[in-house]
């Protein structure tokens, strides 16, 4: 007899009201069968059975309060059979007894995962649980339970400076899968970027400690696994104990057999009404919410084609079947031919009515484009919001604007673009802008400095690491090119291309996000002309690049000519930078960009 422990059913929920028992003592239940309905402070939740067995005792009555991680009911799954005991009531094999104790712990952990997924959805559409159905069956075998005992926990390592937790985004493997060393196991979202967590050694996944969407803390177990050598050792031991295990399974208690027979008789009566026997049908996976929907509409799951993994029937499949059935019922049959004749006489009226209905439907479609919803602020977006508030309130900003005539620079880029493409490098203006900025930093190094935390020192940096703001799907990221002052134009272009692609996919390495000393925001790429950027703390300056426009300007002889003009706006930390300093820096940087041939004289 094993106690079913009420699993976590929502973040912060420690107790719930038991609204209704869907079973009673003595019932034979199946895996994934709903056993109880409980009401939390957020929703009504169905609790599924982790495995098949006979209900022995219900610990709570309807209307009482059940606590999370406390026993909810007791179930006999047949593991504690009489064959495990001698004539004197003692177990004849301590090792076998250990195995039977480990199996319930496995099932309970899986039930906790299933229930937490049910609450997090807050709807009838629950997350697919095919892995749960398969794993529960395997967990009651001696091999799976013994593997559970031999399993090790993979501890989530440090994934960034100052990061203490992250969100589990996607599991790339399932429980029971065999993985290789360095294989991607899971994607997690930190405050800065999407990070891939890889396997530390080859082995078999036993259990996930977190479901998708949950927050995992650094230095805590992320998943349990069994190394290859441990799995092989257990496989050998399992082969030697196959005979003993088979004998235990054949010697079930008479009481359990009677309960199962009674339950089978009841299910036979219901299945014979459809001309099928329950045992002859292949079990089709579906969540408790979907099965409840099937019961409400009195549908047989066998007649619905499942579109989920392993043929799982989803809520969408049931709704589509109902819609198709309704459409079929409304089709015109031969008996309705007189109705067709009557309808033909009112074609004009019907056409006018259809036009009105069409207009109403069109209005409803337009009005449904906007949706009222609440989206949690997390991940990169949450960090950006927090840092922007901190930077704008702690740093006294001042702004400085100017125009750059980049006509000659564009001509130089056009000449060098073909050669860069021969090396597989896309040459944009950004590498030239970064290189000119690094050269200007040599003359005005304070723009590459930062203020100490106690604001008592100015910390000059030994390398010019220029960051570029990228509008990625995960939010604003600012990866930086390291040591721009030491790199060639082509080397900078290669790094710019790599970082841009990584940022837009949300997979920037932590090292590429750290150590920036000066930043560029290229709003011109989106069509903007002017901006007032916010400094990327702890840096002390940032520049926003506007779009390039073809504008009339006067040449040296007073003639009007067309020139390519880019607007720029600097933001400086007025605690250590004054207007004169940033003006001198900007003028030198501007001179390099407007006279790119002179920039060559300063290259090292």
CB 140 within 8 A of CB 212: no
Cα–Cα–Cα angle for 377, 120, 372, rounded to 5 degrees? 50
Tokens, residue 284:
């089709």
The Cα 99–Cα 93 span in angstroms is: 10
Spatial neighbors of 322 by CB under 8 A, at least 6 apart, are 297, 299
Residues annotated as catalytic (active site), given as ranges: 574, 578
pTM as predicted: 0.49
Evaluated on CA atoms 509, 510, 514, 519, the torsion sign reads positive
The Cα 219–Cα 227 span in angstroms is: 20
Spatial neighbors of 501 by CB under 8 A, at least 6 apart, are none
What backbone phi and psi angles, to 5 degrees, belong to 110? -70, -35
Taking the mean position of all CA atoms in its chain, how far away is CA 473? 13
What confidence score (pLDDT) does residue 457 get? Answer: 94
321, 386, 428, 523, 534 from 464: Cα distances, Å: 62, 26, 20, 22, 19
Residue with tokens 């309807």: 62
Element (H, E) at 242: helix 242-250
Neighbours of 596 (CB within 10 A): 19
Enter the DSSP assignment of 553: E
Find, among 475, 507, 459, 499, the residue nearest to 386 by Cα.
475
Find, among 471, 475, 517, the residue nearest to 192 by Cα.
475
DSSP string, 392-422: HHHS-EEEEEEEEE-HHHHHHHHHHHHHHHH
CB 447 within 8 A of CB 535: no
Find, among 177, 196, 194, the residue nearest to 186 by Cα.
196
The Cα 17–Cα 211 span in angstroms is: 24
Taking the mean position of all CA atoms in its chain, how far away is CA 72? 31
Tokens, residue 354:
């259809």
The Cα 355–Cα 347 span in angstroms is: 12
Q: Is 506 left (phi over 0), alpha (psi -120 to 50) or beta?
A: left
Q: What does pLDDT average to in each consecutive run of 10 residues of the chain (604 residues)?
A: 77 78 90 84 77 88 85 77 41 37 38 44 38 38 61 81 79 89 85 79 90 86 84 55 46 44 48 44 64 78 76 81 71 44 48 52 59 79 82 92 95 92 92 95 94 92 94 80 94 94 81 92 86 92 94 92 95 94 95 90 74
DSSP 3-state percent helix, strand, coil across the chain (nearest 5): 45, 25, 35
How far separated are the first and last CA of the chain, in Å rounded? Answer: 79
Find, among 79, 83, 73, the residue nearest to 26 by Cα.
73
The Cα 500–Cα 489 span in angstroms is: 16
Counting every residue, how long is the chain? 604
CA dihedral 116, 119, 123, 124 (to 10 degrees): 50
CB 218 within 8 A of CB 159: yes
Enter the DSSP assignment of 572: E
Cα–Cα–Cα angle for 51, 130, 232, rounded to 5 degrees? 80
What confidence score (pLDDT) does residue 544 get? Answer: 95
Spatial neighbors of 129 by CB under 8 A, at least 6 apart, are 32, 114, 117, 285, 287
What confidence score (pLDDT) does residue 587 get? Answer: 96
């Amino acid at each position: 007899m094993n106690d079913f422990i009420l699993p976590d059913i929502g973040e912060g929920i420690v107790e719930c009201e038991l609204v209704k028992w869907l079973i009673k003592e003595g019932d034979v239940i199946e895996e994934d069968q709903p056993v109880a309905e409980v009401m939390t402070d957020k929703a009504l939740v169905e609790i599924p059975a982790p495995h098949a067995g006979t209900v022995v005792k219900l610990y709570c009555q309807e209307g009482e309060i059940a606590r999370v991680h406390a026993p909810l009911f007791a179930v006999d799954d047949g593991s504690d059979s009489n064959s495990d005991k001698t004539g004197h009531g003692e177990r004849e094999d301590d090792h076998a007894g250990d195995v039977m104790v480990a199996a319930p712990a496995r099932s309970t952990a899986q039930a906790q995962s299933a229930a937490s997924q049910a609450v997090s959805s807050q709807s009838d559409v629950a997350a697919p649980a095919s892995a749960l159905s398969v794993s529960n069956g395997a967990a009651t075998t001696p091999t799976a339970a013994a593997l559970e005992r031999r399993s090790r926990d993979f501890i989530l390592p440090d994934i960034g400076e100052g990061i203490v937790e992250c969100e589990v985004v996607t599991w790339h493997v399932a429980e029971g899968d065999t993985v290789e060393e360095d294989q991607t196991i899971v994607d997690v979202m930190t405050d800065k970027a999407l990070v891939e967590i890889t396997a530390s050694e080859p082995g078999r996944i036993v259990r996930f400690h977190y479901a998708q969407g949950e927050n995992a803390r650094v230095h805590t177990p992320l998943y349990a696994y069994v190394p290859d050598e441990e799995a092989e050792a257990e496989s050998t031991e399992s082969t030697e104990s196959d005979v003993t295990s088979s004998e235990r399974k054949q010697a079930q208690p008479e009481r359990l057999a009677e309960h199962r027979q009674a339950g089978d008789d009841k299910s036979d009566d219901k299945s014979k009404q459809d001309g099928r026997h329950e045992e002859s049908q292949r079990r089709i996976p579906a969540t408790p919410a979907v099965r409840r929907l099937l019961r409400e509409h009195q549908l047989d799951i066998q007649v619905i084609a499942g579109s989920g993994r392993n043929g799982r029937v989803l809520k969408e499949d049931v709704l589509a079947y109902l819609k198709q059935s309704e459409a079929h019922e409304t089709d015109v049959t031969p008996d309705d031919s007189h109705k067709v004749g009557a309808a033909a006489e009112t074609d004009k009226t019907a056409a006018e009515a259809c036009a009105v209905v069409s207009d109403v439907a069109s209005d409803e479609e337009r009005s449904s484009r906007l949706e009222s919803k609440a989206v949690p602020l997390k991940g990169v977006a949450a960090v950006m919001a927090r840092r922007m508030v901190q930077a704008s309130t702690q740093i006294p900003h001042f702004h400085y604007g100017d125009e750059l005539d980049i006509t000659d620079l564009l001509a130089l880029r056009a000449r060098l673009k073909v050669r860069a493409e021969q090396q597989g490098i896309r040459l944009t203006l950004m590498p030239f802008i970064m290189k000119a900025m690094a050269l200007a930093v040599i003359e005005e190094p304070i723009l590459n400095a930062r203020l100490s935390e106690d604001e008592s020192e100015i910390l000059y940096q030994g390398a010019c690491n220029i960051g570029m703001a990228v509008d990625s799907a995960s939010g604003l990221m600012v990866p930086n090119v390291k040591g721009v002052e030491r790199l060639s134009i082509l080397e900078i272009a290669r790094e710019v291309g790599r970082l841009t692609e990584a940022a837009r996919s949300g997979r920037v390495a932590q090292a590429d996000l750290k150590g920036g000393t000066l930043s560029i925001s290229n709003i011109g790429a989106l069509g903007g002309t002017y901006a007032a950027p916010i400094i990327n703390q702890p840096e002390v300056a940032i520049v926003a690049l506007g779009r390039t426009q073809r504008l009339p300007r006067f040449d040296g002889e007073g003639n009007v000519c067309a020139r390519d003009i880019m607007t720029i706006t600097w933001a400086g930390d007025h605690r250590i930078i004054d207007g004169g300093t940033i003006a001198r820096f900007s003028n030198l940087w501007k001179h390099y960009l407007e006279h790119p041939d002179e920039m060559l004289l300063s290259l090292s």
